[in-house]
Chains A and B, each alone.
Chain A
Amino acid sequence: MRIFADLWWFFRQEKWKYLFGIFFLMCSSFLSLMPPYVVGVIVDDIRAQTLTPLLLGKWIVFLILIGIVYYFTGYVWRLLIFGSSIILAQQLRRDLFRHFTKLSPNFYQKKRIGDLMAHATNDINAVQNAAGEGILTLVDSITMGTMVIVTMSVLISWELTLIALIPMPIMTVLTMYYGSLLHKRFGKAQAAFSDLNDKVQENVSGVRVVKAFGEEDAQIGTFRQASKDVVDKNVAVAKIDGLFNPTITLIVACCFFLAIAFGAGRVVDGTLTIGGLTSFTLYLGKLVWPMLAFGWLFNLVERGSASYDRIRNLLAVKPEIVDEEHALRKVPSGDIHYAIHTFSYPGSETVVLQSIDCTVEKGRTLGIVGRTGSGKTTLLRLLLREFDISDGRIEIGGLPIKRTTRDALRSAIGYVPQDHILFSATIAENIAFARPDASRKEIERVARLANIHDDILQFPDGYETVVGERGVTLSGGQKQRVSIARALLADPEILIFDDSLSAVDARTEVAILQALKKERKNKTTLISAHRLSAVEHADLIIVMDEGRIAERGTHRELMKNHGWYAEVYRHQQLESLVLKGGKAVEQ
């Protein structure tokens, strides 16, 4: 029942809806007690030959009235109670989404998107059920149960009621027991289904590989296995699920049997009429639902609590990166200075960056190269404050980035990530992502800078072409260039290219770099790349190796250094020397 205490804030918020809802629900329950009574009275009148057409007519009119009022109250309470539960779901979903937007990349690295989706769908559904059906079953089992029992005791006989009810608690206990069993098995069935889903997801994503390696039959085999598992787990559920109805039937039969056996005795000794006995059995039938509801309530509540706990836990996750108190709102500007002693990702022992000391003057270009895993990306992500540095600092214009709000910091930076994320929207909307109000002219301008304009014009609907899941698929290079245009649109002082030219060919790369050079005078650019040509003209190049700066300098200086950079660069150049007919190319 803790869930009701947990959700108290919501019940208070919607108190009128709940109060009226419960009131009308109780009215409905009360009204539903009338017809059995009427049946009993009429039976007795028939027996006693005292029924007149007028009397019968009156009762019928009474029943019709009950029908009309019941229909109305039934409509109102459903609307109020179930309607409120839908509003609860909406609010929780909104809060969850809001919270999701505040959480840091580290959170998303640890959690699987699928799980987060499950929280936002299944768990919210379970809570919604607790606030809707849960309230219904709680109110109904208590009020309806009490009312029926009181009516039976007062109108007919409390002794008989007691006797007839003996088996009922067994039903509640059993259904509760089944319920908890069912819950466990259901969980397993869900897990099996989710595995099946993952399997299909993987298969669909990897379709080219599957086809290229002729793995289709093997995939079908594993899928068959996974779907078999789903069947097994669901049969286990069905075995318990199927127990509910027969159990109820049996127990109700016992109640009926007791009621009639003992009731018949009373009819014989004259303390009960046959009409009374008929009403009694009808009331007994009315008790099935409250008893059932009681058992069901526990499951609803249990599931609701577990789900609500998960949602609360999620909402309680503190964003790792928060603005300091009194953080400056001013957009930072100026030289970028890295002074990192050591850095490890949260929860990891491995040192990713060490002794980084490096300054990029405003308006200059920094090139970052080095082998995979040397810390290039980390260096860039730290500037965006996707993670906080505990041992060291990064400054922009002499001000530690921690001192400004993230909002201000990020408005100074344009970011082109390694994996180009586009949204299911038109190309224009994707480019204008950071500035939805940008004009078509501005969008086209940055698209030209990013060398994607011509490609876009060749799409079926030009800039209005929808991309992503439901639209056209862009090539890796096209995605990168859209993502570059997107970053350029905001015209930030600092632009980060995280290996963002890897999928474009050489000619395009040169064109883009040239355009940038011209476009971004007095603006700072940070480029990480595997291909040295992307950073060759940078004002400063640093070569990362195992988290340290192994070499630094301009292209010219680095070439003189005869280190990794020169070696790799020469390697790239070697063939060109030979193949240009042996004609030496000066450095």
Chain B
Amino acid sequence: MNSESDRNSERLSGQHVTKRLLSYLKNHKKGLAAAFVMLFIATAADVLGPIVMKVFIDDYLAPRHFPIGPLVLLAVSFVGLYAISALFHYGQSLLFQKIALRVIQKMRVDVFSKVQHLGLAFFDRTPGGSLVSRITNDTEAIKDLYVSVLSTWVSSGVMMIGIFTGMFFLDVRLAFLCMILMPFILALMWGYRKRSAAVYRVTRVKLSQLNAKLNESLQGMAMIQAMRQEKRLRREFGQINDEHKTAMLKNVRLNSLMLRSAVYSVYLFGLILILSFFGVQSFGGAVQIGVLYAFVNYLDRFFDPINQIMQQLTLFQQATVSAERVFGLLDDERTAPVKKGSATPMIEKGRVEFRNVTFSYDGKTDVLKNISFAAEPGETVALVGHTGSGKSSIINLLMRFYPVRRGGIYIDGEPLDTYADRELRSKVGLVLQDPFLFVGSVADNIRLSHQDMTDEAVRKAAQFVQADHFIEKLPNQYHEQIGERGAAFSSGQRQLLSFARTMAQNPKILVLDEATAHVDTETEEAIQVALEKMRSGRTTIAIAHRLSTIQDADQILVLHRGEIVERGTHQSLLEAKGLYYKMYQLQHGKTVPGRSAAR
């Protein structure tokens, strides 16, 4: 079931992945050039080493001719070549790695920025966990690819070319003979890549299932224990664990069959070629032993890069899949609604108007039908209704979380989508039912990114919503660090902080999305006082569960299944004895049916 919903929510970019990956290198031309130069120098030194040996063996050792001068020169050049190789190899690998890391940083920032500008329609459909994985783990997989491609594959490839060059320099015929090995090597690589792709994918899927199961079980452990489902969960986890093991074993089997052992066979084949060549040659006359030595030496080194490339082929699989996902995310078109037009209207008065707004999240069912209302500057409009009646959708649209396609929303007479983001966000303050707090101090959470806000202003905002009482009781007061999601605070305290955060921005329009749902009655009293203060001079759109909290609203809209079925003041709605009256009765009246039976 997972993979299916995955497919629905995830967009892949299958096109030109490699091309796009390479395009990230454009900004690093100089660095790459320097790295390549170093790589060439180092490889040249590597290739020259056996040739020096060959000269030594054939010109001096075999004829037993040992003049001091040339020998010292040979010795020095031999050691010197290795030193050069070591130095430049270090330089190139470091440089390639640095480039790879910077490329990935750029990619990460790109993806993260992109995600910031995606609309809530995207977030609704994308599980948070997998999104996080996109930004961090997938880019990490791509990083591995870059690092290995740049520092291992490129250098291995250059090394292989270098070795062949050396071989051709020493003996053209034998070098051609050695070329026979290439098809074998390529076939092996191709075969392995093909086979491992499938096996590898299964392993990944199992691993992610394993982790998901573990994560979820840990999160819900209290529930699992309270419901006595430990045994069942153990069994379920055990099953996934077994499947994962089986997949891993398959992987090991494939690697054992097609990696080092297989490469070694090709190596032996090459060795046989060389030995036969010289052997056969020796039947007809003298052979240069030095050349044989150099060839055997080259062959030895030749397979190191191949082993390295083969072992990292799986990285390529993972990285390609990851890159497809990352680019898919970068290409996602579900961006947040943005400002349209070139006008820069400002929100001065705070008049909010909905004109015939109809809205649907999925394009099928309309959750809002023909909604029209206006909140005059300074007025409070309350939205009430049954769960799922569309209250939150109205707020989501007003906050421009979703684009309005049918009908229009106007602030101060201008269409909502003509406002710049900055203007909209600073003038429209939202308080959510679930107060989300960031890691950081209490003050950080009130101040957010507005670094120019003084401590005094922070304190004032806290006082304004009466959060100062509990903050001042904290050991470090405003500098108290908030743990993971403010777990150390009660829900009421968290909500108070989120109030302070909103008020610190001094918005023109206040949007309360069931803001008092999680605040205890006692605190709510204080908050009602604060809200009164907050609302004065501000247009307020409020959703409330408890009708008592909104009865002084200038206008109450009663929603039912996406429609406004009643509107008026508290008093007039009660008099109308409609849905609102019923709701109110249920909450406050004595005529709750069955109440007497409870006694």
Contacts and interface: CB of A to CB of B under 8 A. Distances in A.
Interface stretch (A175-183, A208-216, A301-309, A332-340): A208-216
B283 interface: yes
A261 interface: yes
B218 A433 contact: no
A207 B115 CA distance: 10
A230 B98 CA distance: 12
Given A82-B252, A235-B101, A100 B217 contact: yes
A146 interface: no
A502 B226 contact: no
Contact of A579 (B272, B429, B551): B551
A208 B128 CA distance: 13
A162 interface: no
Contacts of B505: 213
A18 to B, nearest CB: 15
Contacts of A231: 101-102, 104-105
Given A63-B271, A242-B97, A506-B583, A386 B256 contact: no
B592 to A, nearest CB: 6
Give chain A's interface residue range (CB within 8 Å of chain B).
Answer: 35 or more
A10 interface: no
Given A117-B215, A371-B520, A282 B296 contact: yes
B127 A470 contact: yes
A563 interface: no
A38 interface: yes
Contacts of A2: none
A129 to B, nearest CB: 13
A464 to B, nearest CB: 9
A200 B136 contact: yes
Interface stretch (B85-93, B172-180, B182-190, B342-350): B85-93
Query: Chain B binding site: helix, strand, loop or mixed by DSSP?
Result: helix
A173 interface: no
Nearest to B493: A372
Contacts of A216: 116-117, 421
Contact of A217 (B225, B392, B449): B449
A537 B83 contact: no
Contact of A220 (B116, B237, B293, B438): B116
Interface stretch (A149-157, A394-402, A442-450, A528-536): A528-536
B214 A212 contact: no
Given A78-B256, A212-B425, A575 B228 contact: no
B386 interface: yes
A204 B131 contact: yes
B492 interface: yes
B223 A74 contact: no
A238 B98 contact: yes
A214 B222 contact: no
Given A93-B241, A215-B449, A282-B300, A46 B289 contact: yes
A35 B273 CA distance: 13
A215 B268 contact: no
Given A97-B214, A372-B490, A421-B223, A505 B545 contact: yes
Query: Chain A binding site: helix, strand, loop or mixed by DSSP?
Result: helix
A101 B129 CA distance: 23
Contacts of A59: 275
B388 A475 contact: yes
A572 B296 CA distance: 93
Contact of B57 (A120, A207, A274): A274
A503 B517 contact: yes
Given A214-B426, A373-B490, A433-B229, A508 B387 contact: yes
A43 B252 CA distance: 38
A90 B284 CA distance: 62
Interface stretch (A65-73, A137-145, A291-299): A65-73
Contact of B248 (A86, A505, A533, A573): A86
A102 B221 CA distance: 9
B268 A75 contact: no
B128, B218, B336: residue with the most chain A Cβ atoms closer than 10 Å: B218
A382 interface: no
A142 to B, nearest CB: 20
B255 to A, nearest CB: 7
B89 A249 contact: yes
Interface string A230-251: 1100110011011101110110
The 9 closest A-B pairs by CB, nearest first: A214-B425, A218-B449, A253-B82, A246-B86, A537-B598, A74-B261, A78-B256, A576-B588, A212-B430
8 contacts: A63-B271, A101-B234, A217-B116, A220-B113, A238-B97, A278-B292, A490-B227, A514-B593
Given A243-B90, A572-B521, 20 more contacts: A42-B278, A51-B283, A70-B268, A71-B265, A97-B237, A105-B222, A202-B439, A209-B436, A211-B425, A212-B430, A239-B94, A257-B78, A268-B64, A371-B520, A411-B228, A434-B227, A471-B5, A514-B594, A537-B599, A586-B590
